[in-house]
Amino acid sequence: MTERRACRLSNQPRGTQRYRAIRREDEDALTQAIVQLASQYGRYGYRRITALLKRAGWRVGKDRVERIWRREG
């Protein structure tokens, strides 16, 4: 069955079937840094943690930190 026909039958856009998630090399280290900072500064949110990470030399945006923040709980 073709991709076009399968997507039409399942009522999904074809573009969603071609998406491949990109795993970054520093994701595990960044996750550990976020968890460590969150445990150290319990009342800080993801925006303030992002600022601390930037001061520490990480090149990271608030959206990426928020995504990891939600994933880690």
CA atoms of 63 and 50, how far apart (whole Å): 9
Residue 33, CA atoms < 13 Å, CB-side half-sphere: 19
Q: For the full predicted model, state whether its pTM sits above 0.75.
A: no
State pLDDT tens for residues 16-35. Answer: 877 777 888 889 999 999 99
Domain assignment present for residue 49? The answer is yes
- Residue 28 located in a structural domain: yes
> Residue 6: inside a domain, yes or no?
no
Classify residue 1: in a domain, yes or no. Answer: no
14 falls within a domain: no
At 24-66, the pLDDT tens digits run 888 999 999 999 999 999 899 999 999 999 999 999 999 999 9
Neighbour tally for 33: CB within 10 Å: 19
Instruction: Please check the confidence at residue 67 and state whether its pLDDT lies above 90.
Output: yes
Looking at the structure of the chain, the number of domains it has is: 1
Question: Is residue 37 situated within a structural domain?
Answer: yes
pLDDT of residue 18: 78
- Domain extent for 33: 22-72
**Residue 11 CB contacts under 8 Å (≥ 6 apart), including other chains:** none
